Amino acid sequence: MSATPIPRTLTMTIYGDLDISTLTEFPQGKRNVKTILTKRGDKKVALLCEKSLSEKKRIYVVVPQIEGGEDKEVTSVKTVYERYKKYYGDKVVMMHGQMSEEEKNIAILAFKSGICPILVATSLIEVGIDVKEANLMIVYSPSHFSLSSLHQLRGRVGRDGSPATFVLFGEGDDEENEKLSVLLKSDDGFEIAEMDLKLRGPGELMGTRQSGLPSFLVANIISDFKIFECARDDAKEIIKDKKSIDNVIIMNEVKKSLSDFRLS
């Protein structure tokens, strides 16, 4: 079961021997989440934060790494936490994977209760957290995340059906803009996962690699999509009809016998 299919999940369900049930509607009606792609320092985002706090709402701030890479200003959850702490004081709490379960529970309870209405976290919050008061999420360095992960993160806000905002702090290069524009145009998880499939590749069907194109000599898993579907359906029919298999075996034996007879 997958709320948002990652490329490997998508390819395994398409090409694997699995029965699929697709739920295309939200459990409690359609979400009203506006997605914005902008740069750091946009004053409109600061105003959105102030508005959320004044309305007693909750704010997620998502950062890709705990310690950060070369530019810790936008990739380190600890650095970003200190920056928000400087402006908002005790209203901010942090959560990441290196914290103990007790520390994480305290952080999420402080966030849910409104004691600390701003949660600065890694993608740890991607699943399993339901805070209906959350109406704003700010994502730093979104290029570090897959489209499917970003869509899953977007699902953390506006869960009560009220208007919410999902902000992506991009770097502004053409490749990133092309990727992130998918989220601006669509809120369909399957469409987004298909685009993720094209951009990242499905990874290994028989291994653990979650991205990258498979090492086929001829076939292309994306452009030859229909061929894969037909091959899968044919394989299912053959397996389903054992009599057909037996007939194929018998015909092959007959052909071999005829061939041997002619040669003799």
Q: Are residues 90 and 34 in the same domain?
A: yes
Which among 143, 167, 188 is the end of a domain?
188
Q: Are residues 144 and 88 in the same domain?
A: yes
163 domain residue, yes or no? yes
208 domain residue, yes or no? no
Q: Are residues 174 and 230 in the same domain?
A: no
Say whether pLDDT at 8 is over 60.
no
Give 145-166 pLDDT, tens digit per residue.
888 889 999 999 998 889 999 9
Of 207, 58, 35, whose CA–CA distance to 130 is shortest?
58
Q: Are residues 183 and 241 in the same domain?
A: no
Output the pTM of the full model: 0.73
- Domain range for residue 254? 225-263
**Domain with 34 in it: what CATH number?**
3.40.50.300
- Domain total for the chain? 2
Give 126-144 pLDDT, tens digit per residue.
888 899 999 999 999 998 8
pLDDT number for residue 113:
95
Which among 140, 165, 188 is the end of a domain?
188
Of 228, 202, 227, whose CA–CA distance to 215 is shortest?
202
243 domain residue, yes or no? yes
Q: Are residues 56 and 118 in the same domain?
A: yes
Write out the H or E segment, with its range, that includes residue 83. helix 77-88
Q: Is 7 or 234 the better-scoring residue by pLDDT?
A: 234
